[in-house]
């Protein structure tokens, strides 16, 4: 019976020793941080992001506080971001936040904050879905503008803020129009008015004013309805919604 169990154990030990031998012979482990970083950069240029990550991560792990190690960690985040896909973007954000935590005074701080925002914005859900990731992206870009107002990334962040806010505003519009469709004009008016107050630069504000006027109309609030429709006519005279206003129908 003992010999019966001894052979499998010996086989497992042999496999273990073999695995250790293969592990020791991995050429990646023989590279210095500088060498691994150079190889990682070469693979990045060839858009082989998955392969590049192994070398970039190794550069960081070998010498985490060296210049090569720091750059390896940052570029590992970039490789994940450029590779795309939800899981890679989540990991990219984690890499950037790790870099931010370890090296808060880095001259790359503004770039890292920008990439955190971009990693979140790239994962935004459609306007009819949950917007928690959009809210986090908005916060990240606003933090960049607040913390690094003279950075080259501040202007780019303002553009990203506009895109994220449009997504959030469209979410509010969808909710408001749903309320109106299902006979809740009071809730619809509150949602539309909040949208206008919170996102004054929303790119489709004309349709919000139209639905706001309709919501007040259904509540028999003639003055408020007229004010919304007048604002629509004055601010967006070429909007297709103007043609559908009560006074313009024959």
pLDDT tens string, the chain, 250 residues long: the values are 455 555 555 455 555 555 554 445 678 888 999 999 999 999 999 999 999 999 999 999 999 999 999 999 999 999 999 999 999 999 999 999 999 999 999 999 999 999 999 999 999 999 999 999 999 999 999 999 999 999 999 999 999 999 999 999 999 999 999 999 999 999 999 999 999 999 999 999 999 999 999 999 999 999 999 999 999 999 999 999 999 897 665 4
CB atoms inside a 10 Å sphere around CB 92: 27
* Residues in contact with 185: Cβ distance below 8 Å, sequence separation at least 6, in sequence order: 179, 214, 215, 216, 218, 219
Determine the Cα–Cα distance for residues 93 and 121; give it in Å rounded to an integer.
11
pLDDT of residue 250: 44
CB atoms inside a 10 Å sphere around CB 103: 16
CB atoms inside a 10 Å sphere around CB 15: 10
Burial (CB < 10 A; 0-12, 13-18, 19+), residue 13, is: exposed
pLDDT of residue 22: 47
Determine the Cα–Cα distance for residues 75 and 53; give it in Å rounded to an integer.
8
Residue that the structure tokens 């770039």 belong to: 111
In contact, 232 and 242? CB cutoff 8 Å: yes
In contact, 56 and 75? CB cutoff 8 Å: yes
Q: What is the pTM of this model?
A: 0.84
pLDDT of residue 29: 82
Classify domain 28-104 at the CATH class level.
mainly alpha
């Amino acid at each position: 019976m003992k010999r019966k169990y001894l052979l499998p154990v010996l086989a497992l030990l042999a496999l273990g020793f073999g695995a250790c031998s293969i592990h020791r012979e991995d050429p990646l482990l023989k590279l210095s941080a500088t060498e691994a970083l150079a190889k990682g950069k070469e693979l990045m240029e060839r858009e082989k992001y998955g392969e590049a990550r192994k070398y970039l991560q190794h550069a960081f792990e070998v010498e985490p506080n060296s210049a090569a190690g720091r750059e390896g960690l940052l570029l590992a985040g970039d490789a994940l971001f450029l590779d795309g896909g939800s899981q890679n973007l989540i990991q990219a954000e984690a890499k950037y936040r790790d870099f931010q935590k370890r090296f808060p005074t880095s001259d790359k701080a503004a770039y890292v904050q920008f990439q955190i925002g971009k990693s979140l914005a790239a994962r935004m859900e459609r306007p009819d879905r949950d917007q928690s990731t959009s809210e986090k992206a908005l916060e990240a870009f606003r933090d960049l503008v607040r913390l690094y107002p003279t950075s080259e990334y501040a202007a780019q962040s303002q553009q990203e803020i506009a895109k994220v806010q449009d997504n959030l505003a469209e979410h509010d519009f969808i909710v408001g129009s749903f309320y109106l469709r299902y006979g809740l004009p009071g809730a619809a008016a509150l949602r539309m008015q909040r949208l206008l107050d919170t996102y004054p630069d929303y790119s489709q504000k004309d349709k919000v004013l139209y639905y706001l006027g309709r919501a007040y109309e259904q509540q028999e609030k003639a003055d408020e309805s007229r004010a919304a429709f007048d604002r629509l006519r004055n601010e967006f005279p070429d909007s297709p919604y103007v043609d559908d206003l009560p006074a313009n129908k024959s």
